[in-house]
């Protein structure tokens, strides 16, 4: 029990330092609230039931809106999906967008998620309830993978996160990139833009690590 308490305190401090550092961060309060509900993780080898995962396009944290149709987010989405696939290779119980268990990645759903976490009139203790009842339960999924994107002068920050319906937690990671080393020319298809190799691999790795905590 003491060890669990220490883990909860460390994770809470970590989330606070990174999320509350940006006053516009859309998930700061709700992450802190959810961290209080962390429970000991089950061993993956004991996992008997599938965990159904869908992803929603990241939110532009600076403008507090989805940017679903921009070229940058399409490239980021490809790295997020790669991270999900990497996690699936290790944990076969992770099921991504299988029939009957899909939350569609639409502007409406991404916007609704943003509206819930940003609404200061909703108590933090109720935000997870609303996310679950309005987005996750109707889609019959257990986990949402999403995130927030911030661009400040020459720095781009990416905050991928997962919302875990079963354990009622939101867990996030943070990474940042030099703006001019984030989007690169495709070495194969001239004139086409891609995420720079290091950025692609870093985002995919963070998403994989988040899902391997399930």
Please state, in angstroms and rounded to a whole number, the distance separating the CA atoms of residues 12 and 33.
9
Question: Residue 36's pLDDT is what?
Answer: 42
Residue 184 β-bridge partners: 194
| Lowest-confidence pick of 69-73, 168-172, 192-196 | 69-73
Mean pLDDT of the chain: 79
Is residue 192 scored above 60 in pLDDT? yes
What is the residue extent of each domain of the chain? 2-211
- Strands 65-66 and 59-60, by their bridges, are antiparallel
Nearest-angstrom CA–CA distance, 191 and 185? 7
| 205 CB burial (10 A radius; 0-12, 13-18, 19+) | middle
What whole-number distance in Å separates Cα of residue 178 and Cα of residue 156?
Answer: 6
Question: What pLDDT does residue 69 have?
Answer: 53
The pLDDT of residue 191 is 82
**Which tokens in the block code for residue 114?**
């943003």
Instruction: Say if residue 89's pLDDT is above 90.
Output: yes
Residue 113 φ then ψ, to 5°: -60, -45
* Nearest Cα to Cα of residue 109 among 68, 157, 150, 51: 68
177 or 27, which is more confident? 177
Q: What average pLDDT does the segment 87-92 reach? A: 94
- pLDDT top residue among 43 and 108: 108
Q: What is the DSSP string of 4-63?
A: HHHHHHHHHHHHHHHHTTSTT-TTHHHHHHHHTT--PPPPGGG--S-EEEEE-PPEETTT
| pLDDT for the residue numbered 165 | 94
In which band, very low, low, confident or very high, does the pLDDT at 10 lie, cut at 50, 70 and 90? very low
pLDDT at 1: 47
As a 3-state breakdown, the chain gives helix, strand, coil percent values, each rounded to 5, of: 45, 20, 35
| CB half-sphere exposure, 43, CA atoms < 13 A | 2
What is the mean pLDDT of the segment spanning 66-83? 78
What pLDDT score was predicted for residue 28?
A: 53
Q: Which helix (H) or strand (E) holds 113?
A: helix 107-118
Q: Please tell me the distance from the alpha carbon of residue 205 to that of residue 199, in angstroms, as a whole number.
A: 10
The mean pLDDT of 77-83, rounded to a whole number, is 94
The mean pLDDT of 205-209, rounded to a whole number, is 96
At 95-141, the pLDDT tens digits run 999 999 999 999 899 889 988 987 889 988 799 999 999 999 999 99
């Amino acid at each position: 029990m003491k060890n669990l308490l220490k883990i909860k305190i460390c994770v809470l401090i970590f989330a606070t330092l990174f999320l509350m550092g940006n006053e516009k961060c859309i998930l700061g309060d709700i992450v802190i609230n959810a961290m209080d509900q962390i429970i000991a993780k089950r061993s993956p080898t004991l996992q008997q039931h599938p965990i159904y995962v869908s992803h929603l396009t990241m939110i532009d944290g600076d403008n507090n809106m989805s940017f679903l149709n921009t070229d940058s987010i399409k490239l980021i989405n490809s790295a997020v999906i790669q991270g999900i696939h990497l996690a699936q290779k290790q944990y076969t119980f992770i099921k991504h967008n299988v029939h009957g268990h899909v939350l569609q990645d639409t502007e409406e759903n991404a916007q609704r998620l943003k509206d819930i976490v940003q609404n200061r009139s909703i108590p933090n203790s109720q935000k997870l309830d609303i996310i679950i009842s309005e987005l996750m339960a109707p889609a019959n999924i257990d986990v949402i993978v999403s995130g927030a994107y911030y661009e400040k002068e020459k720095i781009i920050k990416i905050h991928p996160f997962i919302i875990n319906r079963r354990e009622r937690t939101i867990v996030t990671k943070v990474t940042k990139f030099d703006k001019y080393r984030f989007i690169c020319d495709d070495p194969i298809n001239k004139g086409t833009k891609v995420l720079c190799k290091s950025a692609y691999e870093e985002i995919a790795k963070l998403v994989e690590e988040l899902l391997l905590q399930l």
